């Protein structure tokens, strides 16, 4: 396992270097002039040139890149021009909000999609199988932001069951003590049941939105993997040996179907990181996605670069975890590694 970890970590370095280069170049070709934006609509050419000099935008492109890499080496992601705060601090502050939202949505999707996919494979052509197909088709077809708006309209405006979609907590509650950045966990550590219920109420609709989006590919892959495994010779042998249905399905069938499901979970998690940007805007969620969108509109380079770099590190780390899970699920992978 250590050899696998080291090999995968070595391949991650070129990926990070490529992300740094591409992100830097793409932010420089964005439409708009940050100097003109922050100088104001009534600024003169001289004042715009002064702002451009202060931001270092008058330097050659290679000089700007060298300065950017030097700052990265020292752990400096720059300073946001819109908020006036260091980008690293902003990302570390907002990342737990996005992580809590994405993880809750993924847990919801796994809890429904995997049992639904297994049952659909066991009962082909039944009502459950048709329901699985309908759910997966709808989950892929409906845009995630439309799902969020629809849930807000039904459960907030029409039924009044959900609180106003205005962030992580209602205005009448104070944030719990910052230990993990996850409001649900911090509220439990504080022993504050009211804050926990308030944070959970705010989290349900955005997490449900992401969960519906993630449910479709997980259920579809689980069903396909289970169908492939259940038709294998060793499953027929296990049934002929008189083993119980639960043992055959769970111990022999589901375990051998886990590899493609885990691979799908990794891809779905990366998709959720992108979809969370739209969900955060719909629900006014103070995560790094909405932070990056606001910076992109203002042509604020540093937060956009920091956001992409943070997402790249998360994605590479996730792939590393999935590779290690392979060796746990299937011991043959250790030999191959």
pLDDT on residue 218:
87
Q: What is the pTM of this model?
A: 0.80
pLDDT on residue 247:
82
Bridge partners, 79 (sequence order) = 86
Q: How far apart are CA 293 and CA 54, in angstroms?
A: 24
pLDDT by 10-residue block (mean), the chain, 337 residues = 65 77 75 65 70 71 80 79 81 87 89 87 81 78 82 86 83 82 87 87 90 86 85 81 80 80 80 83 86 79 83 80 71 55
Q: Which of 89, 141, 139, 142 is nearest to 116 (CA)?
A: 139
pLDDT on residue 288:
86
Tokens of 228: 């492939």
Residue 170 CB partners (closer than 8 Å, separation 6+): 163, 164, 198, 201, 202
pLDDT on residue 319:
76
Please report the domains of the chain, with CATH numbers, ordered by start residue: 96-295 (1.10.3720.10)
Q: How far apart are CA 96 and CA 80, in angstroms?
A: 19
pLDDT on residue 30:
66
Give the alpha-carbon dihedral of 162, 163, 166, 170, to 10 degrees.
-140
pLDDT on residue 4:
62
Q: How far apart are CA 224 and CA 209, in angstroms?
A: 24
Given a contact cutoff of 8 angstroms between Cβ atoms, the answer to whether 244 and 257 are in contact is no
Which residue intervals of the chain are DSSP H helices? 2-28, 34-39, 45-55, 61-73, 87-122, 127-141, 144-152, 183-190, 193-230, 233-240, 245-246, 255-256, 258-282, 288-297, 301-329, 332-336
């Amino acid at each position: 396992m250590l050899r696998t970890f080291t090999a995968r970590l070595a391949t991650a370095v070129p990926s990070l270097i490529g992300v740094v280069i591409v992100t830097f170049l793409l932010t420089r070709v964005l439409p708009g002039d940050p100097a003109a934006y922050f100088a104001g609509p009534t600024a003169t050419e001289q004042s715009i040139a002064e702002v451009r000099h202060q931001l270092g935008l008058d330097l050659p492109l290679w000089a700007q890149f060298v300065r950017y890499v030097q700052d990265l080496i020292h752990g400096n992601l720059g300073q946001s021009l819109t908020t006036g705060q260091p980008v690293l601090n902003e990302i570390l502050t907002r990342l737990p909000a996005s992580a809590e939202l994405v993880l809750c949505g993924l847990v919801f999707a796994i809890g429904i999609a995997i049992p639904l996919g297994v049952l659909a494979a066991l009962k082909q052509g039944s009502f459950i199988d048709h329901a699985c197909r309908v759910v997966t088709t709808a989950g892929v077809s409906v845009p995630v932001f439309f799902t969020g708006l629809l849930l807000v309209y039904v459960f907030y405006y029409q039924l009044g069951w959900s609180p106003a979609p205005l962030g992580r907590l209602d205005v009448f509650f104070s944030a719990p003590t910052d230990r993990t950045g996850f409001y649900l966990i911090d509220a439990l550590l504080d022993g504050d049941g009211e804050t926990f219920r308030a944070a959970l109420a705010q989290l349900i609709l955005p997490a449900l939105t992401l969960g519906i989006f993630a449910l479709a590919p997980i259920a579809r892959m689980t069903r396909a993997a289970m169908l492939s495994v259940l038709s294998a010779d060793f499953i027929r042998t296990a049934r002929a040996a008189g083993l119980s249905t639960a043992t055959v399905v769970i111990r022999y069938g589901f375990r051998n179907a886990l590899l493609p499901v885990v691979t799908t979970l990794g891809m779905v998690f990366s998709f959720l990181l992108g979809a969370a940007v739209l969900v955060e805007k719909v629900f006014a969620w103070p995560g790094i996605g909405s932070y990056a969108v606001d910076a992109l509109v203002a042509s604020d380079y540093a937060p956009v670069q920091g956001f992409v770099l943070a997402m790249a590190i998360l994605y590479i780390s996730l792939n590393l975890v999935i590779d290690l899970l392979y060796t746990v699920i299937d011991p043959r992978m250790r030999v191959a590694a």
